[in-house]
Amino acid sequence: MSDALFDQLGGEAAVNAAVDIFYRKVLADDRISRFFDGVDMEKQAAKQKAFLTMAFGGPHNYTGKDMRDGHASLVKDGLNDSHFDAVVENLGATLKELGVADDLIGQVAAVAETTRNDVLGK
């Protein structure tokens, strides 16, 4: 994805604005909150930030392998498409709350979508 999307969203400042809102939505979502039980919140927030940067079309060193390894134990615990959908939904709602235009939200969702198979170990 091009830097154009990242710039249109507002770059790093946009990521910083989104990360708390997004993480709070995810933790408050009964469909997926259990996957975050007992995690180190500070480390998790840093991961959320890296993920958002990537989904916003920003610079990253995304590797499918990291994503697979990172989620493998969650997949064993039942992580599936419905949970992935819930995360993408929270991502969209976060951007909506920040006043981002629908077509840009669509582009972010499309980038997030490219991680689905790696996250779910397919």
Structure tokens at 3: 């830097």
Residue 24 or 96 with smaller CB distance to another protein:
24
Structure tokens at 29: 């979502």
Q: At what angle do helices 102-113 and 81-97 cross, to 10 degrees?
A: 150
Residue 5 or 45 with smaller CB distance to another protein:
45
Residue 26 or 105 with smaller CB distance to another protein:
26
Helix (H, G, I), strand (E, B) or coil at 20: helix
Structure tokens at 13: 């400042």
The residues, any chain, with a CB within 8 Å of residue 106's CB and separated by 6 or more, are none
Q: Name the residues that contact another protein, by CB under 8 A.
A: 12, 15-16, 19-20, 23-24, 27-28, 38, 41-42, 45-46, 49-50, 53, 58-61
Tell me how far, at minimum, the Cβ of 90 lies from another protein, in Å: 14
Tell me how far, at minimum, the Cβ of 81 lies from another protein, in Å: 26
Tell me how far, at minimum, the Cβ of 37 lies from another protein, in Å: 9
Helix (H, G, I), strand (E, B) or coil at 87: helix
Residue 67 or 88 with smaller CB distance to another protein:
67
